[in-house]
């Protein structure tokens, strides 16, 4: 392949989100002689769903697969901060998961499993939660009771978890990729992947169904670009790019929303400044019953609040507009029952993005069909697993059977395939 003159792009990566950047960087560093080019419709890196994420991470899973992906990626990010000196804004806020008595019991085996895999947690009792301002006994409230909201029995606190700055992270990969000679074409939208015959005969109308078919390049808003291999790391747009050429990538986007609430009352300020959990003396990333989550934003003195709704929330691309009514009717009623401090709190800002969901097991898909690689389905945990995913995708694209993740663990590069998946299911979906 090295001796061949045309086309001169070896790997064309679609998407400069965190997954595309990590994959491109690792391909370029595993194969420095290859010409690697990213095409991205936005004017800069990580401007799609990467930037719309709550950007949380945790090194606490009951699934070995998840643990490996998250642990090796987070350790790499720490290495980038400490040894390379690139500030990624990593903050160990911790996760605080509030559960009722039934859920606590149901979760026990998964918590034990996570501990065996090296994760740690501690139980926060009801009294401590009460002192921190949580209303743990909601069932005395007739409205909460009618809503079917359970009393909180305990908090599960996970210290090895937190947030980072997605913009810093994508800038790091962009910088590292470019430093190796990688190229990025911004403002370049891929309209379609172009197929052709592996062995062209020069007959009009090729490729025919009896020919071996492969990708030849991409048609973009700036013209046609030829390439030897194409890596689709387009997140929510993966399905839209692949269905027309006859590939079903399994993954499907679903709209997710984040609402910003200013801590502009004493109650909310006190809640934000909850002590005892982390070095910042702020509330951890908190998940209430029914999945409503609250992320403290220290600098902004605000909370990001969200809820990943499932049945009833359509799959597919749609208008990316946050719905204030969703906050008002689906989040606020739950939020205020457990945290009455929010009773007068309405969003100051809000936005919508997509989760790129693998509806089967919530794990990424990383597979090749001929010279087309698909890296997708990060299902809302793409940032925290990005480095490992990039290494696996890179190894698979370069034809290696195995790959070494940061920290030294070696895994099969085909373990996230479509047909055969070597993964164990996650029981701790927080």
**Contacts to a second copy by CB under 8 A:** 146-149, 195, 199, 201, 205, 207-213, 243-248, 250, 252, 254, 290-292, 307, 309-316, 325-326, 329-331, 333-334, 357, 359-361, 369-370, 418-420, 425
Pairing outcome for strands 36-39 and 183-185: parallel
Please state the closest distance from residue 121 (CB atom) to a second copy, in A. Answer: 25
DSSP 331: I
Q: Could you give the residue ranges of the DSSP H alpha helices within 87-237?
A: 101-116, 126-131, 142-146, 166-179
| Cα angle 48-167-73, degrees, rounded to a multiple of 5 | 95
Please state the closest distance from residue 298 (CB atom) to a second copy, in A. Answer: 28
Cβ-based neighbours of 54, under 8 Å, separated by 6 or more: 163, 258, 285, 293, 295, 304, 306
Please state the closest distance from residue 31 (CB atom) to a second copy, in A. Answer: 25
Q: Which is nearer to a second copy, 301 or 313 (CB)?
A: 313
> Would you call 349 helix, strand, or coil by DSSP?
strand
Q: Which is nearer to a second copy, 68 or 138 (CB)?
A: 138
Q: Which is nearer to a second copy, 159 or 207 (CB)?
A: 207
Residues making up the chain, counted from first to last: 430
Q: Which is nearer to a second copy, 170 or 423 (CB)?
A: 423
Please state the closest distance from residue 37 (CB atom) to a second copy, in A. Answer: 23
Q: Which is nearer to a second copy, 144 or 268 (CB)?
A: 144
CA distance 213 to 152: 57
Q: Which is nearer to a second copy, 181 or 244 (CB)?
A: 244
CB 322 within 8 A of CB 257: yes
Torsion of CA 272, 332, 261, 284, to 10 degrees: 30
Please state the closest distance from residue 415 (CB atom) to a second copy, in A. Answer: 15
189: closest CA among 230, 159, 232, 219?
219
Q: Which is nearer to a second copy, 8 or 248 (CB)?
A: 248
353: closest CA among 191, 235, 240, 239?
235
CB 168 within 8 A of CB 15: no
Cβ-based neighbours of 112, under 8 Å, separated by 6 or more: none
Please state the closest distance from residue 28 (CB atom) to a second copy, in A. Answer: 27
Please state the closest distance from residue 317 (CB atom) to a second copy, in A. Answer: 11
Q: Which is nearer to a second copy, 7 or 150 (CB)?
A: 150
Please state the closest distance from residue 16 (CB atom) to a second copy, in A. Answer: 26
From residue 293, alpha-carbon distances to 259, 327, 404 in Å are 10, 12, 34
Q: Can you list the positions of beta strands (E) in 298-382?
A: 302-306, 349-357, 365-369, 372-376
Element (DSSP H or E) covering residue 92 = none
The end-to-end CA distance of the chain, in Å, is 45
Please state the closest distance from residue 246 (CB atom) to a second copy, in A. Answer: 5
Q: Which is nearer to a second copy, 1 or 419 (CB)?
A: 419
Please state the closest distance from residue 325 (CB atom) to a second copy, in A. Answer: 8
Q: Which is nearer to a second copy, 75 or 226 (CB)?
A: 226
């Amino acid at each position: 392949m090295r001796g061949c003159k045309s086309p001169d792009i070896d790997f064309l990566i679609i998407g400069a989100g965190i997954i595309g950047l990590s994959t491109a960087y690792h391909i370029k560093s595993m194969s420095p002689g290859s010409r690697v080019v990213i095409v991205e419709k936005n004017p800069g890196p990580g401007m799609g769903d990467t930037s719309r994420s709550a950007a949380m991470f945790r090194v606490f899973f009951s699934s070995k697969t998840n643990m490996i992906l998250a642990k090796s990626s987070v350790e790499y990010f720490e290495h980038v901060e400490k040894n390379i000196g690139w500030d990624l804004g990593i903050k160990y806020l911790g996760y605080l998961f509030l559960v009722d008595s039934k859920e606590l019991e149901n979760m026990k085996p998964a918590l034990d499993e996570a501990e065996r895999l090296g994760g740690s947690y501690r139980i926060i009792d009801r009294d401590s939660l009460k002192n921190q301002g949580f209303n743990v006994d909601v069932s005395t409230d007739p409205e909460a009771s009618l809503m079917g909201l359970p009393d909180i029995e305990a908090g599960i606190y996970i210290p090895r978890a937190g947030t980072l700055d997605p913009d810093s992270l994508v800038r790091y990969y962009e910088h590292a990729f470019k430093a190796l000679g990688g190229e990025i074409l911004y403002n370049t939208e891929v309209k379609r992947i172009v197929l052709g015959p592996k062995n062209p005969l020069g007959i009009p109308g090729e490729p025919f169904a009896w020919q071996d078919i492969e990708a030849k390049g991409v048609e973009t808003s700036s013209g046609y670009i030829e390439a030897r291999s194409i890596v689709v790391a387009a997140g929510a747009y993966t399905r839209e790019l692949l269905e027309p050429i006859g590939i079903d990538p399994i993954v499907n986007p679903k709209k997710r929303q984040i609402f910003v609430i200013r801590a502009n009352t004493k109650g909310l300020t006190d809640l934000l400044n909850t002590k005892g959990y982390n070095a910042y003396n702020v509330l951890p990333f908190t998940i209430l019953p029914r999945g409503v989550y609250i992320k403290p934003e220290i600098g902004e003195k605000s909370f990001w609040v969200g809820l990943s709704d499932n049945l009833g929330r359509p799959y597919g691309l749609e208008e990316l507009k946050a719905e204030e009514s969703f906050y008002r009717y689906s989040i606020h009623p739950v939020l205020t029952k457990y945290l009455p401090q929010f009773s007068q709190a309405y969003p100051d800002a809000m936005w919508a993005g997509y989760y790129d969901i693998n509806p089967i097991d919530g794990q990424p898909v990383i597979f090749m069909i001929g010279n087309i690689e698909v890296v997708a389905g990060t299902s809302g945990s793409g940032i925290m697993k990005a480095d490992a995913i990039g290494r696996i995708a890179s190894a698979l694209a370069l034809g290696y059977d195995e790959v070494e993740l940061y920290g030294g663990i070696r895994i099969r590069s085909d373990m996230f395939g479509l047909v055969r998946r070597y993964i164990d299911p996650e029981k701790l979906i927080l």
